[in-house]
Amino acid sequence: MKAFATLLDRLSYEPRRNEKLRHIVRYLREAPDPDRGYALAALCGALDIPAVKPAMLRALVAERVDPVLFGLSYDFVGDLSETIALIWPAQFTGSNNAPLHLAEVISTLLSASRREGPQLIARWLDDLDETGRWALLKLVTGALRVGVSALLARQALAEFSGHPVEEIEEVWHGVEPPYTDLLAWLEGRGPRPDPSAALTFRSPMLAHPIEDEDFETLQPADFHAEWKWDGIRIQAATRRNGLARDVRLFSRSGDDITTSFPDLIEALPENAVIDGELVVARDALIATFSDLQQRLNRKVVSAAMLRDSPVALMAYDLLQVEGEDLRPLPLPQRLARLEALVAAKAHPRLMLSPAVPFESWEALAEKRAQSAENAAIEGVMLKRLDSPYLAGRPKGFWYKWKRDPMIADCVMMYAQRGHGKRSSYYSDFTFGVWEGEKLVPVGKAYFGFTDEELKGLDRFVRQNTINRFGPVREVVHEPQSGLVLEIAFEGLQESTRHRSGLAMRFPRIHRIRTDKKPAEADRIETLRSLLRSG
């Protein structure tokens, strides 16, 4: 446990990717099996320990610390595990417990009931120092937040073993924690794990944002255009083997999200790997991202959710079919194969993302602007006709061209502390516009500013608080005193959530207008006119 705690501690303070890799590689070289495999699983987010849940940890700490003080501390620290690790009353138990092993923690917890889980955790917390407590809680809750993605962890495996990361990716989804077979293979002590036992993830091809000057050099005739859907990018892989059928849905980063979307399974053709956008679709109507959000990160999907927010796949590329790797083929050939596959399946939850025909960049710009009518469309994608399917973000092949955002001057009204990276600063802001003589809230924003600007915003909140409602502070918002925020947003919808009856999409702080008085901020009528035009 100590080696793992040291590793997590170092990773949490190390900003540089290469140094993070070095720390992980060193740990993999020094730690024994099966500890290191479990550590790897923790870094990849592949551990799920049912006997421990955050609510249970809160209950544990509530037995030992004044709940008000705990609440204020959590509000400041912004991370549950860290707050508990810091606030846990240190006690010398006088025990001579042997040092805790990572594998022992995990195997003990995996066989523990929900009643035993808390008792085990409490005993270990009493025996560990602060860093150890923090690492234990991070491990068992699965929310590490040390800036290591599953991809980076696999890159560390590549560096550790000298095998290219692509080779590791090919077998990754066929192996399970604590990965002793994988590590044995990587160290040349065992056979290659058989990836055919499971469907594997292929690194997706990503797009660059297009720049104005790109249009001067790029030729419209060289490109295929399609809508940029506001869903989540997924890779759907299927295999039929006699009676057995295996289906995997992977997120863009390779996480297996199959269990969240049972309603998509039957729509997928056999023995294919499709790249596309997961969207909520009611009949043929594609819903907005906020509808899809309800469906994300759920392990259990209710019947009501399946009925009210059914998902569909908007397919736009085909990587493999019947064992044939299509990735080296040019885009039009892959699209032709995809179209045939979608047509043959003829399932309403499987759609082909339609091509957007255009003659000139001006004509495409016009279509992109018109697409604002459809809230499920973020803009257009441009893909070179001669592009093979390349892993990563290769230059010069795929571009994304999002719509221009709308802008409004609003006044900060309330603020709340953020979590994670922004914890302990006031970083969630509710802002409003004028309706008659009064300000009405129209939205909330918690990004768009730099760390430096955040400090200024935080200071403004602390020095201009006029009211406190629990964690929420009301800040001064009078015509002549207050803070004007220029808010950029991607669209406007009618909503009952705010008193103004309007809701912004993706609102973010575009600029902090210290040069303006709140009296100069926009009026609700201006926003309503955008609603009509947009």
Q: Which residues bind another protein (CB under 8 A)?
A: 12-15, 65-66, 68-70, 72-73, 76-79, 82-83, 86-87, 420-425, 451, 455, 459, 463
Nearer to another protein, 17 or 282 (CB): 17
- Compute the least distance from the CB of residue 82 to another protein, in Å: 6
Strand partners, 426: 417
Q: How far is the CB of 88 from another protein (least distance, A)?
A: 10
Distance between CA atoms of 497 and 30, rounded to whole angstroms? 54
For helices 67-77 and 80-87, angle between their N-to-C axes, nearest 10 degrees: 130
Q: Which residue lies nearer to another protein by CB, 217 or 480?
A: 480
Query: Which residue, 461, 458, 429, 457, is CA-closest to 443?
Result: 429
Residues 49/140, Cβ–Cβ less than 8 Å = yes
Cβ proximity to another protein, 462 vs 497, nearer residue: 462
Read off φ and ψ for residue 450, nearest 5 degrees.
-85, 170
Is the dihedral angle over the CA atoms 273, 275, 280, 285 positive or is it negative? negative
CB of 454 to another protein, least distance (A): 8
Pairing type for strands 398-402 and 377-384 reads antiparallel
Between 65 and 232, CB nearer to another protein: 65
Full 3-state SS string of 383-437:
EECCCCCCCECCCCCEEEEECCCEEEEEEEEEEEEECHHHECCEEEEEEEEEECC
By beta-carbon proximity to another protein, the closer residue of 14 and 263 is: 14
Backbone angles phi, psi at 382, to 5 degrees: -120, 125
Q: Least distance from C-beta 19 to another protein, angstroms?
A: 9
Minimum distance from residue 459 beta carbon to another protein (Å):
7
Residue 307 has, within 13 A of its CA and on its CB side, a CA count of 3
Least separation, in Å, of the C-beta of 434 and another protein? 27
Task: Kindly give, in sequence order, each residue whose CB lies less than 8 Å from that of residue 28, ignoring residues fewer than 6 positions away.
Answer: 36, 40, 156, 157, 160, 183
Q: How far is the CB of 413 from another protein (least distance, A)?
A: 20
The distance of closest approach from Cβ of residue 446 to another protein in the complex, given in angstroms and rounded to an integer, is: 15
Q: How far is the CB of 281 from another protein (least distance, A)?
A: 39
Q: How far apart are CA 182 and CA 291, in angstroms?
A: 39
CB-wise, 212 or 451, nearer to another protein? Answer: 451
Question: Going by C-beta distance under 8 Å and a sequence separation of 6 or more, which residues neighbour residue 514?
Answer: 483, 484
Q: Is 163 exposed, middle or buried (0-12, 13-18, 19+ CB in 10 A)?
A: middle
What is the C-alpha separation between 311 and 249, in angstroms, rounded?
A: 13
Q: Quick one: DSSP state of residue 266?
A: G
Nearer to another protein, 72 or 531 (CB): 72
Report the C-alpha gap between 34 and 466 in whole angstroms. 56
Instruction: Closer to another protein by CB, 258 or 427: give it.
Output: 427
Of 1 and 84, nearer to another protein (C-beta) is 84
Task: State the first-to-last Cα distance of the chain, in angstroms, to the nearest integer.
Answer: 56
- The minimum distance between CB 503 and another protein, in angstroms, equals 30
Q: How many CB atoms lie within 10 A of CB 194?
A: 11
Q: Is the CB of residue 213 less than 8 Å from the CB of residue 370?
A: no
In the complex, least distance from residue 514 CB atom to another protein, rounded to whole angstroms? 17
Which contacts of 339-342 are long-range, i.e. CB under 8 A and separated by 24 or more positions?
341/269, 341/272, 341/274, 342/269, 342/315
Report helix, strand or coil for 4: helix
Q: Which is nearer to another protein, 70 or 215 (CB)?
A: 70
Tell me how far, at minimum, the Cβ of 340 lies from another protein, in Å. 50
> What 8-state DSSP symbol labels residue 265?
G
Tell me how far, at minimum, the Cβ of 455 lies from another protein, in Å. 8
Q: Closest CB to another protein among 370 and 467?
A: 467
Closer CB to another protein, 454 or 504, in the complex: 454
Reduced to 3 states (helix: H, G, I; strand: E, B; else coil), residue 510 is strand
Residue 120, CA atoms < 13 Å, CB-side half-sphere: 20
Smallest distance from another protein to CB 133, Å: 12
If the CB atoms of residues 66 and 187 are measured against another protein, the closer one turns out to be: 66
Q: Which is nearer to another protein, 50 or 420 (CB)?
A: 420
